[in-house]
Structure 1
Amino acid sequence: MLIGIDLGTTNSAVALWKDGKATLVPNALGALLTPSAVSVRADGTTLVGAAALDRMAAKDGATATSFKRFMGTDRKVRMGRKDLSAEELSALVLMALRDDVAAFTGERPTEAVITVPAYFNDRQRKATRRAGELAGLTVRRLINEPTAAALAFGLQDKAEREPFLVFDLGGGTFDVSIVEMFEGIVEVRASAGDNRLGGDDFNAALTTALRGRLDPESRLANIDGALAQALLLQAAERTKRVLSEAPEAEFGVTVDGERLTTRVTAGEFEAQTEGLIRRLRDPVVRALRDSQIDAASLSEVVLVGGATRMPVVRKAITRLFGRFPNSSVHPDHAVALGAAIQSGLIARDGGLEEIRITDVCPFTLGIETAERTARGMLQQGLFSPIIDRNTPVPVSRMGIYSTMSNNQKHIEVGIFQGEAREVSGNVRLGTLKVPVPPRPEGEVAIEVRFSYDSSGLLEVDVEVPATGAKHNLMIIDEEDRKSPADLEERRKALSALKRHPREDAVNEALLARAERCFEEFLGDARAIIGDRTLAFTAALDSQDPRRITDAAQDLTALLDTLEANSPL
C-alpha cells in the first residue's frame, strides 16, 4: 500500500488515495493530526504524538519536538540512554503514522510519498528519505510541501488557474511557491523559503517578551532549565491559539504548585513579532522575482500551515498583497492530502491519469572556481552557477572553464548546491578530478554539463575538448542504488536534453532566416533585425527555455512582418 505523509515540524498527518479521493487517516485518539513529538520515559519506553507532548513538562524522562529543523545535520538529542538524530526521531513518528494506517485499513503500508519543505537542501532530503527507510517504508517520492498543497487546492474543482501563490507557514519552516494549472498540468514556476522560520519562532518571541513580567521573582530559575523552557513554550502555544480568536489572553505556568500568570494583548504580540513578520517578505519577493511574475498578476494567495491562522500573519499577508488571502483549503490538512494525490498519480489511478506535475530546482547548482584579483592574486573557493534556482526540471545546462596555472595537470571540479558567493556557504555534493594536458594558463578548457531531474538525480559530464576525454559522475541518493533499471531509464531521459539550444534544428533555422533577412533589408529594418537576432542569441546562450521561446517569438514576428510588407 502506498500512502502520503506530511512529516511536519509541529504536527504530522497521513492520507491515502482511496475510491477516487484523498482521505486523511485518524490516529489512535481519533485525531487527524499527530504531534511530531517523541518522549522516552525513565524505564526506556517510548511515546509518540500527543502522549509524548503531554510529557514535555515531566521530570522522569526526555521529550523531543521540532527536530525536523535539524534534519541533515549531526545534531543529536539525548533520549534516555541513547543519543538520537533528527532522522531517527522522525522515523519514530513515521512508524506511528504507518501503524495508524494499518489500524484504519487492516493493511500495513509499505510505500510512501513524503513531503519536504521546498527549500530543503540535498542533505535534508536524503535524511528524510532515510527516516522513511528506518520506519520500514520505501519512499517512492519526496514532494515539496507547497506543491502538495497546490495539488490539494487545484483538485477541489479541477479548474484551470492563472499563477497563484502558496504561502506555507508551518511550525518550523516557511515556503512560498508560485504555481500555475492548465490542461492537466500543475506547473511550479518558482519556490523560495526560510527553513528557520515558523510558528515555533513566534512562541519563542512571546516567551522572551513575557518571561520577566511573568516571573519577576525568578522562581523558574529554581527548576531545571530545559523543564522551565518547555513550560514556557507550552504556555506560549496556548496563548498564541487564544490570541487567534480573542484580543487578549492569559500567559501562565505552574511551578511547584504555584500558578504564575500575566496578560498579553494581540497588539503586544504583534509588536513583539514584528521582526519575524518582516522576514516573511523576503522569500515572497524572491519567488516573484525568479518567476518574473508581478504580485498584481497572481490570481490567488493560498494559505497553508497552521501558523497562517494567526491574525498577525493574515494581516501581514493582506498588507503585502493588497488583498485577502484564500483559506478555502484546510491549512493543516492540505499538504497530507496533496501527498495522497501524488501517491494516486504514482499508482496510476484512473481518476488522475490526466494530471502531470512539473517542478523546479529549489537551489542553484554549480562548481567551485577561482578568479584573478585586480592585483593578480588567485582568489579560490568561489561559486560558479550552472543551473540557477527555480529552473524547471528536468534540465541540462553547460558551462565552460579553463586552467588557472601554467602546466596544470588536472582540474578538480567541486560540485555544490546553494546561493552563497563562496562555496564554504553552500552544500558540497561531490568532486570530480579531471586530468588535463599541461599547457600555459588558460589554454586548456573543459565543458561542464549538469543534468538534473525532479527526483534529485544530478548527472555531471565533463569533457576536455583538447584530448576528447570524457568524465561522468552521478550524484544520487541511497534509494537510487537499489533500482539500477529505473536509474538507467532516468539517465536516458536526461540524455535527450544534453545539447545546447543552438544545436536545435528549429533555432538553427530561425538564425539562418534572420541572417538572410539581414542581408536582404537595409536601414532601420536591418538595425532592428540585428537587435532582435542579438537578443535571440543571448537567450540561446542563457539556455533558459522560457527566455528562448519569448525571444524566438519576437524575432519570428518581426521577420514575418517585414517579409509580409515586401514589394513582392
Structure 2
Amino acid sequence: MQVHFSSLVILALASLAKSTSSTEYGTVVGIDLGTTYSCVAIYQGGRVDIITNEQGNRVTPSWVGFNGHERMIGEPAKQAFHTIPSQTIFDVKRLIGCRFDELSLSEDVRHWPFKVVDNNGQPAVEVVYQGETKIFEISAMILGRLKETAESYLGRPVTHAVVTVPAYFNNEQRQATKDAGHIAGMTVLRIINEPTAAAIAYGLDKQGGESNMVVYDLGGGTFDVSLLRVRNGVFEVLTTDGNAHLGGEDFDNRVIDYLINKYEKQTTINVSKNKRALSKLKREVEKAKRTLSSQLTTRLEIESFEGGNDYSAVLTRAKFEELNLDLFKKTLEPIVRVLEDAHLKPENIDDVVLVGGSTRIPIVRQLLREFFGGREPRMGINPDEAVAYGAAIQGGILSGATPFNDEIILIDVCPFTLGIMTKGGVFSPLISRNTPIPARKSEIFSTASDNQRSVLIQVLQGDNHLAKDNIMLGTFKLNGIPPAAQGVPQIEVTFEVDANGILMVVAHDRDSGNLESIMITSERNQLAKTDLVRMVQEAKAYSLGDKEVHARAAALNHLQQAIVSKRDLIKIQHPHSQNLTIYAELAQLSDWADTRGEFADMVKLGTRIDKLNNINLDQNGQAIATPAMTKTTDPELVQTTHARPLESNTSEEPVSVTSTDMLETAVSGSHPNPLIPWDEL
C-alpha cells in the first residue's frame, strides 16, 4: 500500500514572499533518519555543519538498548548489543507504517533478536525496562537523541526540523515519521524525499547548460533511484523508484546465514536461535563488509562464540559478492524503470551520484559503470551525510538562514493517480499523476440506489480502470444522507495532498451538511491526539531519566577519580605516614564505589563525596577529627574490613596540607584527577 511522490527542485530567478513566521523557528535542523545510521546537520554561517555526537562521530547508529533501568541510544546501545541482544533494537525504520502480517516483515523478524508483537495490526517492539514490559516508539527516541545532539552543539533549544524519508514511503509512513518527530519534541516543518535532499546537496553548484542526473541511494535498509534534469538553474526530479527492503542489512544477512550454515557443517551445532552468538556474528560481519570495500580478504574472529568456543572464518570479497550478486543486480531494475518512464537511455545520463553507505561496495560501483557505459559514479559529498546535508539546506531556507532563500523552491508532484471506487467497481480519478502538490481537487458524486442513507468512500491509488486492480489506501463512511431518489443527493468528495505528500479526503453531503473525512496516513496506524500527548510526556520523562543516569555515572566517576587523587596526594605530601584510619576510610569508599556505586542514587553518591572531602591530615600526619572520620554507622561502609596502608618510601618529616591545598595542588598539575567539590558536579 504505497503512494509514491517524486520531486521538482527549482532554482528560481524571481523573488518569493517569505512567511513571517520563519524567524520564529530558530535553527531548523536537517535530519536523515536512517535504517542503520542517522545524521543531523544545520545550516549556519553560510555553510552546512554536520553535527558530531557525544562520541565525536558524524553519524549515529539508529540503535536503542534497554539495560535494566538504563536506556542507551546510538553507539552505547550498539556496543552493548552482544550482552543484551533481546533488549537492543535496530532496523526500526523497516517497521514504520507497515502491517504486522506483511511478508517482508516476517523475513526481517527472522534476523532480529528483539521481540516484535502485534499491536492492533501494527508491529511494535516489546522490551523490559525498569521492571516493566513496555512498547516504545523507537524512532522518536532516535530523533530525540539527534535533537539533544544539536542542542548541545548550538547551546539552545531546537524546536523545528526537516526530516527525510525514502521516496517510496507512503502516507502512513510519512505521517508516522512526523508523529515520531512530535513525540521527540520537534515540529517537523517538512518531510522531503531522501533523493530530493541529496539532489539539493549536489545540485547547488550546477549552473547553466542542461544535463541529466541519476541519484543512486543505497543505504542500510532502503534503496532509491531518482532521475533529475538540470537545466539553467532548474533541478527537476523526473521519476523516482525504489525498494523498501533492499540495503546493507540484507547483504549482511546473506553472509550471516552463510556463516551459520558453515559453522553447523563444521560442528553440527546450529546457532540460528542463539541470540548472543548471532549478535557477535552480526557485529563482525558488518565490520568484515566494510573491510572488504578496500581489501580482497578478511578474517572474522569471535571469542566465546558458542558454548565457550571461539570462532574464526575467512571471508573473501569474491564470496561476499557471490552471496549477494542477485541483490546487487536487483538495484539496476529501478534504474531501468526510471529511464523508461523518462524515455531516456543510459547514454543520455551525464552524472551518476552515489548516496548511502552501501555505495562504497566495489561491485556496486562496477555494475553502475558497466550499466552507464563506463561513466564513473561520483561521490562529491560523503555518502553517509549527503541526505542530511540537503535537509539542512532546506531547513535553512525555511528558517530564512540561507543566502539563497529566494532561489530554491521544492515542488513535489504525485506520479500516481488518486481517486475513489464508484458503482460497478470502476475507479474514478480525482488527482492525476504528475499533478504538482500541494493540490486540491473536488468532484460531485451521488447515490447508487433510492433512499440510500450512507455511502462508503474507498480511496485508491493507481492508473487502472477497475478499482480492484489498484491499491486500496483507506475507507470511510458518510452517514445521515436524507432519503431521496437515486442520483439526487449531491456528495462532494475532495482530495487534498499537502507539501509533505500526505493525502486528506473529505466527503460532504450538500443537502444535510454532514461531513466525514480521512487522512490517508492510516486507518490503522494514525496516533490519536491522546496517544501523542501521552507519548510526548513519556519521552520527556525518559529523557530526564537518561540525564539522571548520566549524572550518576559522572558523579561516580568523579568519586573514583577523587579517591585515587587523594590517596596519591597523601603519599606525596606525607610519604612516610602510616595512618591506618585514613587508608581504611579511603579503602571503604573505594570498595563501596566499586561494588555499590553503580546502583546508588545522587544523594548517596553526594554523601560519599562529602565524606571524601572531609578526610584530611594535620601537620603531624594525623587524621583531623571531622564528621567523616568518626566511627561510621553507614551499613554500606562497615562491611569493608581490610584496608592496606600505602607504603612509605622516605623517612622525611611529614608536610602539612589542608583539603584546599590538596585541591589546588591537584589542579596545578601534580595529579591529573583533582578532587572535585560535590557542589561543582
Give the count of matched residue pairs. Answer: 468
Residues in 1 aligned to 2:264 and 2:520: alpha-carbon distance in whole angstroms: 52
State the match for 2:519 in structure 1: 475
Matched-pair contact (CA < 8 Å) for 1:250–1:261: yes
State the match for 2:92 in structure 1: 67
Structure 2 residue 405 is the aligned partner of structure 1 residue 359: no
Q: Deviations over 1:514-557 (max 9, x none)?
A: xxxxxxxxxxxxxxxxxxxxxxxxxxxxxxxxxxxxxxxxxxxx
State the match for 1:76 in structure 2: 124
Q: Give 1:148's aligned amino acid.
A: A
Q: 1:315 to 1:456 in 2, by over 3 A?
A: same
> Runs of 5+ in structure 1 lacking a partner?
372-379, 482-568
State the match for 1:212 in structure 2: 261
- Distance apart, 1:98 and its partner CA: 1.4
Structure 2 residue 57 is the aligned partner of structure 1 residue 31: yes
- Distance apart, 1:95 and its partner CA: 1.8
One of 270, 276, 285 as aligned partner of 2:336: 285
- For the residue of structure 1 that corresponds to 2:239, the secondary structure is strand
Q: 1:429 to 1:276 in 2, by over 3 A?
A: farther
- Distance apart, 1:422 and its partner CA: 3.6
One of 445, 456, 459 as aligned partner of 1:412: 456
Matched-pair contact (CA < 8 Å) for 1:189–1:291: yes
1:394-405 alignment runs, 5 A limit: 394-396=438-440
Q: Give 1:414's aligned amino acid.
A: Q
Residues in 2 aligned to 1:226 and 1:468: alpha-carbon distance in whole angstroms: 60
One of 318, 321, 327 as aligned partner of 2:379: 327
Structure 2 residue 396 is the aligned partner of structure 1 residue 344: yes
Structure 2 residue 261 is the aligned partner of structure 1 residue 237: no
TM-score (normalizing by structure 1) = 0.73
State the match for 1:452 in structure 2: 497
- Distance apart, 1:195 and its partner CA: 1.2
Matched-pair contact (CA < 8 Å) for 1:386–1:397: yes
Residues in 2 aligned to 1:60 and 1:403: alpha-carbon distance in whole angstroms: 56
* Greater RCO (Cα-Cα under 8 Å, separation 6 or more): 2
State the match for 2:566 in structure 1: none
- For the residue of structure 2 that corresponds to 1:359, the secondary structure is strand
One of 277, 287, 296 as aligned partner of 2:347: 296
State the match for 1:21 in structure 2: 47
State the match for 1:267 in structure 2: 318
Q: 1:318 to 1:435 in 2, by over 3 A?
A: farther
- Distance apart, 1:472 and its partner CA: 7.3
Q: Deviations over 1:141-176 (max 9, x none)?
A: 111111111100012455665331211111011112
Structure 2 residue 480 is the aligned partner of structure 1 residue 428: no
Q: 1:274 to 1:363 in 2, by over 3 A?
A: farther
- For the residue of structure 1 that corresponds to 2:436, the secondary structure is coil
Aligned residues with identical type, % of pairs = 36
- Distance apart, 1:324 and its partner CA: 2.5
State the match for 1:117 in structure 2: 166
Q: Deviations over 1:93-113 (max 9, x none)?
A: 112211211222211211111
Structure 2 residue 362 is the aligned partner of structure 1 residue 311: yes
One of 146, 161, 179 as aligned partner of 1:97: 146
Q: Give 2:189's aligned amino acid.
A: R
Matched-pair contact (CA < 8 Å) for 1:411–1:433: yes
Q: 1:75 to 1:458 in 2, by over 3 A?
A: closer
Say which is worse superposed, 317-326 or 238-247, in terms of deviation. 317-326
State the match for 2:298 in structure 1: 249
- Distance apart, 1:185 and its partner CA: 4.2
Residues in 1 aligned to 2:150 and 2:209: alpha-carbon distance in whole angstroms: 33
Q: Give 2:369's aligned amino acid.
A: T
Residues in 1 aligned to 2:456 and 2:189: alpha-carbon distance in whole angstroms: 34
Matched-pair contact (CA < 8 Å) for 1:174–1:195: yes
TM-score (normalizing by structure 2) = 0.62
Q: Deviations over 1:438-492 (max 9, x none)?
A: 556x899977553423233535466889x899967463879999xxxxxxxxxxx
Q: 1:77 to 1:350 in 2, by over 3 A?
A: closer
Matched-pair contact (CA < 8 Å) for 2:264–2:270: no
Q: Give 2:168's aligned amino acid.
A: Y
Q: Deviations over 1:102-146 (max 9, x none)?
A: 222211211111111111111111111111111111111111111
Structure 2 residue 81 is the aligned partner of structure 1 residue 56: yes
Q: 1:404 to 1:223 in 2, by over 3 A?
A: closer
Matched-pair contact (CA < 8 Å) for 1:118–1:362: no
- Distance apart, 1:4 and its partner CA: 0.8
- Distance apart, 1:194 and its partner CA: 1.2
Q: Give 1:75's aligned amino acid.
A: P
Residues in 1 aligned to 2:416 and 2:301: alpha-carbon distance in whole angstroms: 42
1:182-193 alignment runs, 5 A limit: 182=231, 184-193=233-242
Matched-pair contact (CA < 8 Å) for 2:161–2:188: yes
Matched-pair contact (CA < 8 Å) for 1:118–1:193: yes
Residues in 2 aligned to 1:58 and 1:332: alpha-carbon distance in whole angstroms: 28
- Distance apart, 1:219 and its partner CA: 7.2
> Runs of 5+ in structure 2 lacking a partner?
1-26, 99-121, 530-681
Q: Give 1:341's aligned amino acid.
A: I
Q: 1:341 to 1:350 in 2, by over 3 A?
A: closer
Cα RMSD (Å): 3.5
Residues in 1 aligned to 2:483 and 2:209: alpha-carbon distance in whole angstroms: 56
Residues in 1 aligned to 2:351 and 2:481: alpha-carbon distance in whole angstroms: 53
Matched-pair contact (CA < 8 Å) for 2:505–2:520: no
Matched-pair contact (CA < 8 Å) for 1:102–1:108: yes
- Distance apart, 1:330 and its partner CA: 1.4
Structure 2 residue 195 is the aligned partner of structure 1 residue 150: no
Q: Deviations over 1:198-218 (max 9, x none)?
A: 110011111122322234345
Q: Give 2:338's aligned amino acid.
A: A
State the match for 1:529 in structure 2: none
Q: Give 2:392's aligned amino acid.
A: A
- For the residue of structure 1 that corresponds to 2:275, the secondary structure is helix
Moved over 6 A (4+): 398-402, 418-421, 442-447, 467-472, 476-481
State the match for 1:535 in structure 2: none
Matched-pair contact (CA < 8 Å) for 1:366–1:416: yes
- Distance apart, 1:40 and its partner CA: 0.8
- Distance apart, 1:405 and its partner CA: 5.6
Q: Deviations over 1:23-59 (max 9, x none)?
A: 1001111110100001111x22011111111111114
- For the residue of structure 2 that corresponds to 1:99, the secondary structure is helix
- Distance apart, 1:414 and its partner CA: 1.6
- Distance apart, 1:7 and its partner CA: 0.7
